[in-house]
A and B are shown apart, each in its own frame.
Chain A
Amino acid sequence: MNCRSEVLEVSVEGRQVEEAMLAVLHTILLHRSTGKFHYKKEGTYSIGTVGTQDVDCDFIDFTFVRVSADELDRVIRKAVAEFKDALGNSGSDGMGQISLEFYQKKKSRWPFSDECIPWEVWSIKVNVVNLANEQERQICREKVGEKLGEKVINIVEVINRHDYLPKMPTQSEVDNVFDTSLKDVQPYLYKITYQITDSLGTSVSTTMRRLIKDTLAL
């Protein structure tokens, strides 16, 4: 199986990084989350209901939709905050990339650890710009809002191609496909990683931190 990879690029001002990343990541996760599965007898299951929320950005003229799941929101915010700090610490002309990877777990026999096989990777390249005055910032608010709108349309386009999605698992397999740790929603297994590159474009400080959602990794 080939893992499909999508790359999105945004140029934002420093204080817009967080909201821009949240907007993109939540939009993707909105489409890659289902309601909680409730397995019944005979292999059937029912699916819980996913609520949604509008989120207004403070530094960008933009509103995005996320699933109504505060736990998930906290996790994403934490990851984005770390990414933002890393970008900030790297230097004034920060460029970086945050990746959202959806994977399936394939159980291996002992002593080998489970394989994580990605089936979809979204990479968001971020270029932080510095603006001189308030007028430029105002223009940037609107421009970035429009750009994020285009990114949402791109995301929706990709998702609606209805390419490979993992098969719906049986009860025993559900943890290999979905993150079942949250109480409100059930996203596909995912991990968020990021990379910071300096202005030369080389990944001098490849700060790879894995935020593994699945606690069963050996």
Chain B
Amino acid sequence: MDSDLSSQDRKDLDKFIKFFALKTVQIIVQARLGEKISTCSSSSPTGSDWFNLAIKDIPEVTHEAKKALAGQLPGIGRSMCVEISLKTSEGDSMELETWCLEMNEKCDKDIKVSYTVYNRLSLLLKSLLAITRVTPAYKLSRKQGHDYVILYRIYFGDVQLTGLGEGFQSVRVGVVGTPIGTITLSCAYRTNLALMSSRQFERTGPIMGIIIDHFVERPFTNMAHMHPCSYRTPGEDEGGTYAGIEDSQEVCTTSFSTSPPSQMVVPGKEGGVPQVPAQPNHGTAAEHGRIPSFPNGQSPLPAQPTSCSSEVKTVFCDALETTFTRKVGAFVNKATTQVTTTSLDLPFAAFAPRANDLEVNDPMVHPPPSPAPSSPLQGSLHSNSSSHSGGQPQDDFVMVDFKPAFSKDDLLPMDLGTFYREFQNPPQLASLSIDVSAQSMAEDLDSLPEKLAIYEKNIDEFDAFVDTLQ
């Protein structure tokens, strides 16, 4: 019943609730940026600091909050929620906490709006400042950077807590009674950080005996790095249209990590750091081909012999076995002609460094740039022994020319070497690269306006085509 509330009071109350909601979002998001927050007190009031608290307004965050509210106010049955989640560099994400601003029907008719409610809302914001530093996500957000980033999402409506896993805890920040209902601010946070333990987060935790230096200058303290609602790699422009506000997949980046080049994902691929092979098996043949294009020439690569390549190697082994027994094989060291493939796991293993650094010079992994079709092979067949006897790569990385032991250049135009090279470097199937990562989806989204423009231009053609179908 609003009959007791004057229209001025009602207007004031609505304004308070609106700005309270916006400031709540600012406090929560700023507390998850990963840096220490500091604002100055000012004894002379400027008139623009709501609730007498110096809380900066990050424009993107205000924009997102206003977008989520869409002109409405948090009210009974209409809660405003800020969801904080974590996203790893490999693309896994996990909800950490959900802050809820709710209103229930319990009204406090006698309370003075312009004074008591205002001051209590101010007190609640101070409590929020304190509590945001206490939940587990705070420590995680302070350590974000290369391995993971913290994202936020604002939504309006029903509170969704299912993403927090089992056994999530709840903390109530506070309540403020108003003539139109009681405002409650609370936080539900995840306690089961199972995803964390299976990844490499242990090393971001405190190391025994070493005091964590909280004062290490963070590399990304500039707030301009924050990106609203973006799936893109850092540095790209915003723009383009976003999915609807209620889209549960939409998250807003609060900060991001520009991974060092060695971890940079090859465009279009997920899982750049090849700890876990993220590619489906039929893509790995191509993966092998692309690996040398990593900027740092990563070596050693982890054990990635997939079924494809090991099959080929097996074939080669058989072929070489015959080679070795009949004559000196192309890569056999003169001093050790007794070496047979039965004792080798891989072909050319005699040339492998004694350390298990096989991939460094394994020509299967690092296929040489395709040579001219015949002459190198021809030349190499005759000069093999001399060129390679002394060149057994032990510690140095030596690019070994790929010369199949028994192939001759004057036979089929398509010799084994060429076949093998082509097999090694097939182009990536276009259909496979579409939804491998969210990044390429973002690129697709980017190109949509251009595509639409092209389609519009050719609309007559499309119409004609449709007519032919009918």
Contacts and interface: CB of A to CB of B under 8 A. Distances in A.
Contact of B52 (A48, A65, A183): A48
Interface string B28-41: 00000000111111
A53 B40 CA distance: 8
Contact of A135 (B49, B172, B209, B215): B209
Contact of B41 (A48, A157, A168): A48
Interface residues of B, number: 42
Interface string A138-156: 1001100000010011011
A35 B41 contact: yes
Interface stretch (A54-62, A111-119, A196-204): A54-62
Contact of A52 (B37, B43, B173, B206): B37
B15 interface: no
A160 B49 contact: no
Contacts of A181: none
Contacts of B45: 35, 38, 46-49
Given A48-B43, A65-B129, A160 B175 contact: yes
Contact of A64 (B38, B120, B130, B208): B130
B131 A152 contact: yes
Contact of B133 (A36, A64, A68): A64
B130 A27 contact: yes
A31 interface: yes
A106 B180 CA distance: 37
B43 A183 contact: yes
Interface in B102-158: 115, 120, 123-124, 126-127, 129-131, 133-135, 138-139, 142
B216 to A, nearest CB: 11
B133 A54 contact: yes
Contacts of A46: 45
B356 interface: no
B41 A156 contact: no
Contacts of A52: 37-39, 53-54, 126, 129
A34 to B, nearest CB: 7
B131 to A, nearest CB: 6
A86 interface: no
A50 interface: yes
Interface string A187-210: 000000000000000000000000
Contact of B37 (A35, A54, A61, A141): A54
Interface in B27-77: 36-46, 49, 52-54
6 contacts: A49-B49, A63-B142, A68-B40, A141-B206, A156-B173, A159-B123
Interface of A: 27, 30-31, 34-36, 38, 46-54, 56-59, 61, 63-65, 67-69, 134-135, 138, 141-142, 149, 152-153, 155-157, 159-160, 162, 168, 183-185
